Chain A
Amino acid sequence: MLVLSRKAGESIVIGNDVVVTIIEFRGDQVRVGVDAPRSVQVYRRELYDEISRENRLAASVAPGDLGGLPGRPKQ
């Protein structure tokens, strides 16, 4: 992993169109700004991992597993 030291207000450029800026430090947190084109999706890592995991599980269901699917609830 490339490791760079940055101060608040300084940035890192990734490729030609992604800029990551260190905004400020607050206690044990760092505020980070990301400028990227709309085609580049930016996520918090833990959310990315969690949703990727659910996607993998959704893709591992077999048609034979669906006997217990609920039907449309009665109004």
Chain B
Amino acid sequence: MSTNGGVPLVVPTDRFGELTVDPGDVIEFPDGLMGFAMVTRAIAVPVNDDGLFWWLQAVDDPALAFLAVVPWAFFADYEPVLPADVQDRLGIDDADDALVYCLVTIHDDPRRFTANLLGPVVVNRRRRLGRQVVLDADLPTRAELPSPQ
């Protein structure tokens, strides 16, 4: 990670050991995540080098990390429309400012993964400010990801 944001921050995690990150990489969630009001700071940890899947690791709880996907590789038509109050709250003036993560769950079949398209986590990438949003749209909370080839 980059090192231009000040004193490195050490984040203990259960899954990845101790991570040293730039404070500028921390994403603030002033309102928490739904059902997880205490998750007010997180970092995005890549699952691998293809840039599709990430862990949103809570900075303040080593045990808590959420599997997430950047949706467009799998859902090319996905166009989340952010409510105006969310755009205001996050200071998003331009779609390019927004990072979108959809949380991913795994089901009984270990090759069956689904992504929550209705309630994405949206981050203003410049301000590192995020919020989980419930979209006003008819979208699934369990959209199937394709099985691996």
Contacts and interface: CB of A to CB of B under 8 A. Distances in A.
Main secondary structure of the interface of B (DSSP, over half): loop
Interface string B116-145: 101100000000000010100000011001
Contact of A50 (B50, B66, B141): B141
Contact of B53 (A52, A62, A67, A69): A69
Interface in B67-88: 67-68, 73-74, 85, 88
Contacts of B118: 47, 50-51
A39 B104 contact: no
**By DSSP majority rule, is chain A's interface helix, strand, loop, or mixed?**
helix
B149 A71 contact: yes
Interface of B: 15, 30-31, 33-36, 47, 50, 52-53, 64-68, 73-74, 85, 88-89, 103-106, 110-113, 116, 118-119, 132, 134, 141-142, 145-149
Given A43-B34, A62-B15, 15 more contacts: A38-B88, A41-B31, A47-B119, A51-B141, A54-B116, A54-B119, A59-B65, A59-B66, A61-B104, A61-B105, A66-B47, A66-B53, A69-B47, A70-B74, A72-B73
